[in-house]
Amino acid sequence: MTDRIHEFSNDGLTYAVTDEGPLDGEIVVLLHGFPQTSTSWHAVCTRLHAEGYRTLTFDQRGYAPTARPRGRRAYRMSRLVSDVAALIGATGGPVHLVGHDWGAGVAWSTAVEWPELVRTLVAVSVPHPRAFLGSMLISSQLLRSYYIGLFQLPWLPEFACRRPRLLARMLGGTGMTPDQIATVRAEIVDSSALTTSVNWYRAMPFAHPRYLRPVEVPTTYVWTTGDTALGRRGAVMCSRCVTGPYRFEVASGSHWMPEEQPDLVTRLIVDRISN
């Protein structure tokens, strides 16, 4: 495909796309997590462009100002996956798919439902949904994920996140820098994307079991030892959820790898595409 993609539509919603890098380069689609936007991929994208790859990023459902439907059911995994499939369709697909945090969950699920659209998969931090759920029963993962239960409550998460000192304490405890926390305030809290982004968690009870099926595409998964939200057991169990070529990488550092370790993330993406 030789034309830039500036936007795409799905479910009556419109998404702006940042399409950068060599036009003739292989396309890499990168999906952000919570509580961030597509700007979290800037450092990785810059490095991928230098390697000859074209990158596509977008603020996902609930984050994009033009795509914030009401009600938690609008944020079911099936709808999040359909957005990604619509973007890949606009490229002529298939593409190399990368995701971090919630974006990794969407990337795993897209590879399960639409393997023909995904050439390779790189998942950062969050393991395959089946490994994540399975680890809750046999490790500390349930305790680590306590906030998911809190996020099911009405208004309380929004109230907490709108208090600057409390937000800084919560995010700082996960390894976020002050600059990153300021970005969260500007891009999520101050832009009125807080409720619609938290709705991703509130829609979790409506997830379909088909996303627990294994992934067939060549996959790399990277987990960090300093991740406060995700334990080792789920990371190790992830290998059982991929039937195609698979690589598991363990790194040091916090949960916020795309900004903290862009060189490593870029290398893993390039290695997966090349092999």
Among residues 103, 115, 85, 95, the alpha carbon closest in space to that of 34 is found at 103
- CA 57 to CA 27: how far, in whole Å? 11
Give the pLDDT mean for 103-128: 98
CA pair distance 81, 60, nearest whole angstrom: 10
Identify the pLDDT of residue 234.
Answer: 96
3-state secondary structure of 60: coil
Q: Which whole number is the average pLDDT over 19-45?
A: 98
Alpha helices by DSSP H, listed for the chain, are 42-50, 77-91, 102-113, 129-136, 141-144, 146-150, 156-161, 164-172, 178-184, 194-202, 232-237, 257-260, 262-274
Q: Which tens digit of pLDDT belongs to each residue from 223-232? A: 999 999 999 9
What is d(CA 44, CA 70) in angstroms, rounded to the nearest whole number? 32
- Take residue 265 and report the two structure tokens written for it: 């993330």
- Note the pLDDT tens digit of each residue in 166-206: 999 999 999 999 999 999 999 999 999 999 999 999 999 99
- Mean pLDDT (whole number) for 26-55: 98
What are the residues whose beta carbons fall under 8 Å from the beta carbon of 5, sequence distance 6 or more? 17, 19, 56, 87, 90, 91
Average pLDDT over residues 31-37: 98
Return the percentage of the chain with pLDDT > 70, whole number.
99
Question: pLDDT grade, residue 275 (50/70/90)?
Answer: confident
- Residue 137 has a pLDDT of 87
Place 93 in a pLDDT band, splitting at 50, 70 and 90. Answer: confident
Instruction: Report the alpha-carbon distance of residue 89 to residue 72 in Å, rounded.
Output: 26
Which tens digit of pLDDT belongs to each residue from 78-87? 999 999 999 9
**Is residue 117 within 8 Å of 95, Cβ to Cβ?**
yes
pLDDT class of 2 with cuts at 50, 70, 90: low
Confidence of residue 111 (pLDDT cuts 50, 70, 90): very high
Measured CA to CA in angstroms, residue 215 lies from 49, 137, 171, 183, 232 at distances of 27, 22, 31, 33, 20
Which pLDDT tens digit goes with each residue over 234-262?
A: 999 999 999 999 999 999 999 999 999 99
Looking at the DSSP bridge assignments, the partners of residue 246 are 219
HSE-up of 15 (CA within 13 Å, CB side)?
Answer: 29
pTM: 0.97
Q: Does residue 1 carry a pLDDT above 80?
A: no
